[in-house]
Amino acid sequence: MQTKFNFYSDPSHGWVEVPLQLLKDLDIASEISSCYYINNSVAFLEEDADAGIFVNAITKELGKKISFNEFHSDKLSKIRNYMAYNYTKQIQRR
């Protein structure tokens, strides 16, 4: 299972990039709020809430810590233009 994830941030928010399938595999897909973003088969979990749910779940599953590749921008991130995450639409149909 993947142990290194990408973290993107702009001047006011940050997101962890996580495959949608991994959220389903960890059985946390329904716990992720509906106000964050997806692009194709990847979710971008906001750092203040949803990312914590993910980090706790995967750390428990793996029994070890994960790490991050960090990407920072001084401009607003293109992630903000992605489709809003919706458990019912994105996860249940896959």
Grouped pLDDT means (10 residues each) for the chain, 94 residues: 92 94 91 84 91 94 92 95 72 48
Q: Check if the beta carbon of residue 58 is closer than 8 Å to that of residue 24.
A: no
d(CA 71, CA 47): 13
Indicate the pTM of the whole model: 0.86
3-state secondary structure (DSSP) of residue 71: strand
User: Which residue ranges make up each domain of the chain?
Assistant: 4-90
Tens-digit pLDDT profile for residues 52-70: 999 999 999 888 889 999 9
Q: What integer pLDDT is reported at residue 7 of this predicted model?
A: 98
Q: What integer pLDDT is reported at residue 87 of this predicted model?
A: 59
